[in-house]
């Protein structure tokens, strides 16, 4: 990926253009909040001066009491208004942050699948998650900092004029001390971004993975049965040790920062109180004014320090927003106009696929997973893909599905290069069922329909579950198809066995009722007889559609129109079962080797055609 550089002002425009669209009231509440925030400390500083001046002038008690009541009511009013505005701004701010998270998730869901296997993309994604994970980091920090800048600026302007009329030199001295604190903080934050934030994402990813093992039911069995605890603990210690060293350096960095800032703060206080002390001694400053000067100077100093702190933090947050934008702008595979005009819809009654000298190797790999594949899958026919593990069967399926694009050669759908079709619409043409079944924390019926609750056809869900062989399981559940799966959101969520999950994925494929059906060893958890029976039942259900079946059990795919044998990334045989048994030594040896696990018949062949 070409490195993207975003300027501060580009990032500000990027943030606030979305802000105006999602939350129009955010900027008005920001202005109201800044106004109330600015005047509250000023009135608080003026209160003791006014009261002390009245006392020293021997004002009557009624005047003093009325003045105090007015000032107190003003403070209370400002406090109530500020509280209301702050709460209004808070929920708007949280909604904004939620919107940025939604955009980041949408990018992760829609980006090219192959990018999810690249470490640099995963690190960028980890940073993008961090940037939207807290109010104090990344995008959240930018919003908070802009709010602080607006508030502090108003306070500084008002206090600046007040102090300047008394002693301009005091303003310069306070400003210089505040600037010194800012430089210490700015240097620390830049160093922290470079030596902590940019280094930690791989550690966070590894820690999250290791932590995930502790509460993942699927890992639990293997960890106990194979005594993986010592290995995992050792790996955990190794990762945590690396993260600890970097974190320790970060904490030491902030300790040094605090020490440097405290030094400048001490110089500022010595100068301020020294000036006031001398003024009180030579009678040029009254007690009331002394209190006022301390209050106003303190408010000015605090707000200048805060605004410098905010500026330093904005620089840090701006770099993190750049990380977010780099992830959001990470390029997907661009459409190549040289292959022809892009086709949005797939308006076909039948689907024929043709591989023309297709080769493919995974990103970062030297060896090809598939080489020079030439095969045609006629419309409405059933192709079985067989071969040993690592032969290239699943890669072949991923290329048809366009999860990956060929490294060389091309794939045609009804004579058209598949790269010309809109990928989102292309996906809709397929009903896949994979060996690795993912169940989601939502009701069973949604795990079948993969649609919103209101769009799910309950009757159709039940029919598909019945055909897939899950009718008994569903009827045994109190809430039937409305039963929640997994325990992520609901304590009564259930899990399914390996075989039940594979039946669920078959029901999912049936429900989609797409034009092309692909079964990538979804019945591996079933025994040979059950698998054969399932394949044949499923084949009856999808009659007339183009279908591709993958199985490591050759006997289960004998009913297919044609069988392709994959070995070492090549197709080493094509034909019907009988033709391959007669003419292909590789297929015959594989079939005979598996025959011992099936029921023997009198002639020595395996028959599982029940």
pLDDT on residue 284: 67
What is the residue-averaged pLDDT of the chain? 81
Residue 2 has pLDDT above 60, yes or no: no
What is the per-residue pLDDT across 143-183, written as a single tens digit (0 to 9) for each? 888 777 777 777 777 777 766 666 677 777 777 877 887 78
pLDDT for the residue numbered 424:
85
Q: State how far Cα 193 lies from the chain centre.
A: 21
Residue 604, pLDDT score: 40
Specify the pLDDT at position 601: 38
Amino acid 610: pLDDT? 41
What are the tens digits of pLDDT across the range 113-145? 878 877 888 888 888 888 887 777 888 888 888
Q: What is the pLDDT of residues 44-73, one digit of tens each?
A: 667 777 777 777 777 778 887 888 888 788
**CA–CA distance, 269 with 173 (Å, rounded to integer):** 10
Mean pLDDT across the stretch 555-583? Answer: 88
pLDDT band for position 197 (cuts 50, 70, 90): confident
The full set of domain ranges for the chain reads 8-328, 378-405+416-595
Q: How far apart are CA 13 and CA 320, in angstroms?
A: 15
Q: DSSP assignment, residue 494?
A: B
pLDDT at 461: 92
**504-550, pLDDT tens digit by residue?**
888 888 888 888 988 887 666 566 666 677 777 777 777 788 989 88
CB 87 within 8 A of CB 36: no
Beta strands in 416-488, from DSSP E residues, in sequence order: 416-417, 430-434
Residue 606: predicted pLDDT:
39
Q: What percent of the chain has pLDDT over 90?
A: 13
Q: What is the pLDDT of residues 224-241, one digit of tens each?
A: 666 777 877 888 888 888
Measured CA to CA, the distance from residue 203 to residue 235 in angstroms comes to 12
Residue bearing the bigger pLDDT, 601 or 33: 33
Question: Considering only CA atoms, which of 360, 358, 388, 372 is closest in space to residue 521?
Answer: 388
CA distance 210 to 243: 14
The tokens 């106990």 sit on which residue?
224
Lowest mean pLDDT among 248-262, 348-362, 407-421: 248-262
Cross-sheet strand order for the sheet of 353-360: 370-377, 353-360, 408-413, 416-417
Q: Are 440 and 378 a contacting pair, CB within 8 Å?
A: no
**Residues 6+ away with beta carbon under 8 Å from 241:** none
Give the tokens for residue 477: 């559940």
Please compute, for residue 297, the number of CA atoms within 13 A of its CA located in the half-sphere on the CB side: 29
pLDDT, residue 605, reads 40
Residue, of 84 and 431, whose pLDDT is higher: 431
Which has more pLDDT, 16 or 414? 414
Dihedral Cα 315, 320, 325, 331, nearest 10 deg: 130
Residue 166 structure tokens? 């008394």
Give the pLDDT band (50/70/90) at residue 215: low
pLDDT at 140: 82
The pLDDT tens digits of the residues spanning 321-368 come to: 888 899 988 887 776 777 888 888 888 888 999 999 999 998 778 899
* N-terminal to C-terminal alpha carbon distance within the chain: 55
Higher pLDDT: 529 or 93? It is 93
Q: List, in sequence order, the alpha helices (H) in 468-602.
A: 471-475, 498-512, 528-541, 577-583, 585-595
The CATH T-level fold of domain 378-405+416-595 is Rossmann fold (3.40.50)
- Assigned CATH for 8-328: 1.20.1560.10
Instruction: Please tell me the distance from the alpha carbon of residue 27 to that of residue 18, in angstroms, as a whole number.
Output: 12
Looking at residues 246-258, what average pLDDT do you find? Answer: 87
Q: Residues of the chain with pLDDT > 70: what percent?
A: 87
- pLDDT value of position 220: 67
**462 vs 607 pLDDT, higher one:** 462
Nearest CA to 499 out of 479, 529, 475 is that of 529
Rg (CA), the chain: 35
Q: Residue 556: count other Cβ atoms within 10 Å of its Cβ.
A: 27
The tokens for 574 are 């094509």
């Amino acid at each position: 990926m070409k490195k993207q550089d975003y300027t501060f002002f580009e990032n500000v425009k990027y943030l606030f253009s979305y802000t105006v669209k999602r939350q129009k009231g955010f900027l008005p509440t920001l202005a109201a909040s800044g106004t109330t925030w600015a005047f509250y400390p000023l009135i608080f500083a003026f209160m003791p001066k006014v009261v002390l001046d009245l006392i020293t002038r021997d004002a009557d008690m009624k005047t003093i009491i009325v003045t105090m009541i007015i000032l107190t009511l003003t403070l209370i009013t400002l406090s109530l208004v500020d509280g209301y505005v702050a709460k209004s701004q808070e929920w708007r701010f949280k909604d904004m942050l939620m919107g940025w998270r939604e955009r980041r998730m949408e990018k992760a869901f829609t980006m090219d699948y192959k990018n999810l296997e690249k470490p640099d993309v995963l690190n960028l994604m980890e940073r993008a998650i961090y940037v939207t994970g807290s109010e104090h980091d990344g995008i959240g920090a930018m919003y908070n900092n802009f709010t602080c800048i607006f508030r502090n600026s108003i306070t500084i302007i008002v206090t600046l004029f007040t102090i300047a009329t008394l002693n301009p030199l005091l303003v310069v001295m306070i400003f210089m001390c505040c600037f010194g604190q800012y430089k210490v903080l700015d240097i620390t934050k830049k160093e922290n971004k470079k030596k902590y934030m940019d280094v930690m994402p791989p550690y966070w990813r590894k820690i999250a993975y290791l932590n995930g093992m502790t509460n993942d039911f699927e890992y639990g069995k293997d960890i106990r049965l194979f005594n993986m605890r010592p290995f995992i603990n050792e790996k955990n210690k190794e990762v945590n040790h690396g993260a600890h060293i970097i974190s320790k350096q970060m904490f030491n960095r902030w300790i040094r920062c605090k020490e440097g800032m405290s030094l400048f703060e001490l110089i500022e206080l010595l100068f301020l109180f020294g000036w006031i002390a001398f003024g009180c001694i030579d009678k040029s400053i009254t007690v009331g004014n002394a209190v006022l000067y301390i209050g106003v100077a303190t408010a000015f100093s605090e707000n200048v320090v805060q605004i410098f702190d905010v500026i330093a933090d904005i620089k840090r947050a701006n770099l993190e927003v750049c990380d977010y934008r780099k992830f959001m702008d990470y390029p997907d595979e661009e459409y190549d106009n040289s292959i022809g005009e892009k086709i949005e819809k797939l308006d076909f009654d039948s689907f024929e696929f043709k591989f023309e000298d297709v080769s493919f190797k995974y990103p970062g790999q030297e060896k090809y997973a598939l080489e020079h594949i030439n095969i045609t899958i006629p419309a409405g026919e059933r192709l079985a893909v067989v071969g040993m593990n690592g032969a290239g069967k699943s890669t072949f399926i991923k290329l048809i599905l366009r999860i990956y694009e060929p490294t060389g050669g091309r794939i045609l759908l009804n004579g058209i290069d598949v790269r010309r079709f809109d990928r989102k619409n292309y996906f809709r043409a397929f009903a896949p069922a994979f060996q690795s079944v993912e169940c989601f924390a939502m009701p069973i019926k949604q795990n079948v329909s993969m649609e919103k609750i209101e769009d799910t056809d309950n009757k159709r869900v039940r029919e598909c579950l019945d055909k897939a062989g899950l009718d008994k399981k569903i009827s045994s559940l109190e809430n039937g198809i409305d039963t929640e799966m997994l325990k992520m959101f609901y304590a009564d969520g259930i899990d399914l066995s390996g075989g039940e999950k594979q039946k669920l994925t078959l029901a999912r494929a049936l429900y989609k009722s797409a034009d092309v059906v692909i079964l990538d060893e979804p019945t591996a958890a079933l025994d040979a007889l059950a698998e054969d029976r399932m394949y044949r039942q499923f084949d009856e259900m999808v009659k007339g559609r183009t279908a591709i079946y993958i199985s490591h059990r050759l006997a289960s795919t004998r009913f297919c129109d044609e069988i392709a044998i994959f070995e070492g990334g090549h197709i080493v045989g094509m034909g019907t079962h009988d033709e391959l048994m007669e003419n292909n030594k590789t297929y015959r040896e594989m079939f005979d080797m598996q025959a011992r696990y099936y029921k023997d018949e009198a002639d020595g062949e395996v028959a599982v055609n029940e």
